[in-house]
């Protein structure tokens, strides 16, 4: 008997640019067969803001620190961190040791708040709103601490080229330690809630697996890569700021479970352990913090003059809560703005692993699997991609636009 070859009907489900599972706009075109995902295509370009253009055309480098803070609301420490390191690299300004310690403390505080924020979002994605509310309530403590230390909850404005703008004094230590103790006392409870809960395990174990080979091939960075067993961490591999003085070990899930699966559950483990690690780092910093000035050049006008005269290029790398963030700058003598500014946010590389993670999963796994990369899309969008009605995707460059304008003008003239 001859059987006719039947083709299963697949259809496309668009997730985004606006979708309840996404906190920022991106479009995932999912080709699904029933509930199973057979193909994924990603379209970015919905939140392009031209931030690098501002740094190269409008702002002087000191103003660009504040713009770089606003690249992303959550990573508003790691971006200026990498930026000032790039400018310092280019100009040869060395921040005083005390400033390096303060930078490290602030960066680790950001990591705690970012990972807790992520944990809440992840719980919401799998429909566990109770955990979402409770996690965010716990997160308030670190937000209060950040406000206490920097004067602001979100954009902290702590960084300056060649140092930091605010000191952390001895009188503030007890308040900081109090918050850290609060988290240390809560840690076991958080671990129990996230790692032992039956329903969370049902939704996260063996979901969104990224194997070590794939993670290496796709250059996955940060906790997402570490959860796949890639021991990559800028803080350990190329220590910057005060990290070289501290005892830092890459966090991989096998510390807790003994094995590396590379699924969403492992990403939860890595982030939870990193919260603990961040607390330890801040404690070490408080102990070892050397006395001294916090700025290499306290006079802003003089600093600006130096920067205008400076010539050279520099790279700043920092370990953001989401992975390695890289800023590249080039300064030209006599130019008040940056000659070149290039930002590479961690999500930019991590997005590449999204199709691998999502393929073969169910629709229900998409929100949690995608969120487990902790994508931060405002950081990522720096090119304009146009999606044509014909279904073709292309990057419209200057020549193309020029050609189109000429064509249109000719048409109008006729």
Partner 1 sequence: MSLVIIIFGSVILVSIGGVFAMLYRGIDRKLVAHMQGRVGPPIVQPFRDVQKLLMKESIIPDGAVSWLFRAAPFVCLITSALLLLYIPLFGQKALLGEFGDALLIVYLLILPSLAYAAGGFASSSPYATVGAQREMVVLMSYEFPLAVAIVSLGWRIGHATTANPFMFSTIAEYPIWSLVGPLGIVGSLILVFTLLVVTSGKGAKVPFDVAEAETEIAGGTLVEYSGRNLCLFYLADIIKAFAMSSLVVALFIPYNLSPLVGIGTPVLAGIVDGLFFLVKVFAVMFISISVIRTAMARFKISQVSWVYIMAMTFISIVGLILIVVDLIV
Binding site for partner 1 (CB under 8 A): 11-14, 19-21, 32, 34-35, 123-131, 133-134, 137, 197, 199-200, 202-203, 362-367
Cβ at position 392, least distance to partner 1 in Å: 22
Cβ at position 364, least distance to partner 1 in Å: 4
Nearer to partner 1, 16 or 316 (CB): 16
Nearer to partner 1, 20 or 174 (CB): 20
Residue in 373, 376, 359, 374 with CA at minimum distance from that of residue 39: 359
Nearer to partner 1, 190 or 285 (CB): 190
Q: State the residue for tokens 């999912």.
A: 30
Nearer to partner 1, 14 or 231 (CB): 14
Nearer to partner 1, 128 or 183 (CB): 128
Cβ at position 122, least distance to partner 1 in Å: 10
Cβ at position 35, least distance to partner 1 in Å: 6
Cβ at position 181, least distance to partner 1 in Å: 22
Cβ at position 374, least distance to partner 1 in Å: 16
Nearer to partner 1, 92 or 127 (CB): 127
233 Cα distance to chain centroid: 13
């Amino acid at each position: 008997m001859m059987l006719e070859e039947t083709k299963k009907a697949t259809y496309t489900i668009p997730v985004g640019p606006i979708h309840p599972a996404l906190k920022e706009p991106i479009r995932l075109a999912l080709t699904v067969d029933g509930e199973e995902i057979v193909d994924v295509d990603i379209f970015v370009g919905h939140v392009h803001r031209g931030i690098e253009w501002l740094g190269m055309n409008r702002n002087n480098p000191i103003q660009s620190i504040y713009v770089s803070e606003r690249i992303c609301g959550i990573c508003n420490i790691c971006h200026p961190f990498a930026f000032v390191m790039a400018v310092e690299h280019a100009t040869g300004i060395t921040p005083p040791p005390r400033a390096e310690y303060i930078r490290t403390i602030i960066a680790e505080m950001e990591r705690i708040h970012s990972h807790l924020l992520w944990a809440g979002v992840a719980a919401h994605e799998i429909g566990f709103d109770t955990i979402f509310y409770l996690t965010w309530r716990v997160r308030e403590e670190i937000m209060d601490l950040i406000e206490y230390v920097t004067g602001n909850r979100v954009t902290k404005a702590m960084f300056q080229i060649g140092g930091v703008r605010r000191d952390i004094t001895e009188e503030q230590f007890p308040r900081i330690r109090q918050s850290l103790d609060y988290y240390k006392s809560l840690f076991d409870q958080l671990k129990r809630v996230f790692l032992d809960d039956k329903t969370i395990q049902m939704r996260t174990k063996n979901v969104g697996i990224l194997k070590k080979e794939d993670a290496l091939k796709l250059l996955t960075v940060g906790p997402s890569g570490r959860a796949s067993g890639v021991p990559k961490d800028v803080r350990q591999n190329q220590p910057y700021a005060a990290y070289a003085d501290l005892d830092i070990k890459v966090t991989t899930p096998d510390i807790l479970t003994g094995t590396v699966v590379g699924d969403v559950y492992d990403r939860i483990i890595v982030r939870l352990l990193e919260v603990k690690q961040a607390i330890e780092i801040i404690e070490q910093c408080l102990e070892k913090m050397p006395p001294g000035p916090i700025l290499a050049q306290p006079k802003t006008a003089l600093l600006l003059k130096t920067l205008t005269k400076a010539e050279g290029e520099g790279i700043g790398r920092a370990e953001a809560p989401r992975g390695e963030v890289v800023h590249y700058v080039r300064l030209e003598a006599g130019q008040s703005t940056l000659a070149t500014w290039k930002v590479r946010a961690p999500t930019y590389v991590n997005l590449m692993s999204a199709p691998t993670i999502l393929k073969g999963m169910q629709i229900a796994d998409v929100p949690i699997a995608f969120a487990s990369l902790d994508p931060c899309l405002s950081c990522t969008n720096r090119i304009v991609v146009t999606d044509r009605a014909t279904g073709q995707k292309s990057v419209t460059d200057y020549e193309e636009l020029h050609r189109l304008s000429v064509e249109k003008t000719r048409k109008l003239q006729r």
